[in-house]
């Protein structure tokens, strides 16, 4: 009888050890899975489309009209997400003093480090995706979200600039 009790306790001990080992292995696999998801979260995000038929830097028209599409003082807010990264919202007011209606506007927003190199940047089409057009002598608010920054990133300044525009025909 003592032999069968020892065998039952040995089997009981083996089963509980097996359950503990399986639980630990499952926890490690789940932790690795979530770690990989968090690391890959900022990568591979689809790019927003560029403004087709836009007047861009390098053309004489761009240099002529760009000073008349004014971006007022830029402001930024930052928030920490539950995933551990930092999201920054960059805002400005766009003023159209060209005398012509804009039916396309592309803006580049960036957070730069102390050397002026971008930490994170994004180019977005503001018109016509967020507003149909911007008439002469009118203003509109423009906002760009930048995601995936960490506490250790050197976030020294923000930058918003016009990279392309198109006039209504």
Domain that holds residue 59: 55-167
**Which tens digit of pLDDT belongs to each residue from 106-127?**
999 999 999 999 999 999 999 9
Same domain, 28 and 105: no
pLDDT computed for residue 48 by the predictor:
65
Same domain, 15 and 89: no
Same domain, 133 and 89: yes
In a domain, 145, yes or no: yes
Same domain, 76 and 144: yes
In the chain, the number of structural domains is 2
**Which tens digit of pLDDT belongs to each residue from 94-105?**
999 999 999 999
Structure tokens at 86: 């930092």
Per the listing, tokens 């209606």 go with 101
Q: d(Cα 24, Cα 21) in Å, to the nearest integer?
A: 5
In a domain, 46, yes or no: no
Which phi and psi angles does 13 have, rounded to 5°? -65, -40
123 or 2, which is more confident? Answer: 123
CATH of the domain at 114: 2.60.40.10
In a domain, 158, yes or no: yes
Same domain, 66 and 8: no
Same domain, 95 and 17: no
- Give Rg (Cα) of the chain: 27
Q: What is the mean pLDDT of residues 133-150?
A: 95
Same domain, 73 and 151: yes
Q: What's the chain's average pLDDT?
A: 88
């Amino acid at each position: 009888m003592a032999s069968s009790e020892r065998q039952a306790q040995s089997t009981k001990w083996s089963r509980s050890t097996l359950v503990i080992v399986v639980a630990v292995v499952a926890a490690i696999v789940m932790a690795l899975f979530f770690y990989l998801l968090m690391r890959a979260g900022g990568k591979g995000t689809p790019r927003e489309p560029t403004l087709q038929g836009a007047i861009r830097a390098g053309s004489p028209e761009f240099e002529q009209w760009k000073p008349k599409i004014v971006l007022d003082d830029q402001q930024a807010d930052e928030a920490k997400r539950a995933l551990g990264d930092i999201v920054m919202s960059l805002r400005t007011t766009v003023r159209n003093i060209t005398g012509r209606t804009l039916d396309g506007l592309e803006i580049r927003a960036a957070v730069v480090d102390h050397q002026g190199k971008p930490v994170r940047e994004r180019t977005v089409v503001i018109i016509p995706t967020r507003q149909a057009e911007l008439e002469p002598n009118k203003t509109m608010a423009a906002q760009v979200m930048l995601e995936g920054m960490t506490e250790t990133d050197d976030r020294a300044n923000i930058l918003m600039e016009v990279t392309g525009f198109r006039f209504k025909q």
